[in-house]
Amino acid sequence: MSLLSHSSPSDVAQAKARGVSPGGDVMIHGLPNALGFVGKLHLIRDWTLGCVAVTNPEIEEIWRVVPDGVVVEIVP
């Protein structure tokens, strides 16, 4: 699991103005323990609360090929 970012000060201010939580850590991760068999079916519904979820084989590949400290930009 890789930490991407924490809420920025502007994210915190916007969330406070809306009366909601700014969230916390944003991660790239595989599927929960014992649910790896779900595979790409996890894409049917957003269950991550803001994280980027991939299949377990995909996270293993990311872990193998992406160096520590690489900049990750998530574009909606």
Quick one: pLDDT at residue 2? 44
Q: What pLDDT digit, counting tens, does each position of 4-49 carry?
A: 556 678 878 888 898 877 776 777 888 877 777 777 767 777 777 6
Nearest partner of 54 among 70, 67, 42, judged by Cα: 42
Strand order, beta sheet including 26-29: 2-5, 26-29, 52-53
H or E stretch including 52?
A: strand 52-53
Quick one: pLDDT at residue 5? 56
Q: C-alpha distances in angstroms, 34 versus 22, 31, 61?
A: 29, 8, 19
Nearest partner of 32 among 56, 62, 57, 65, judged by Cα: 56
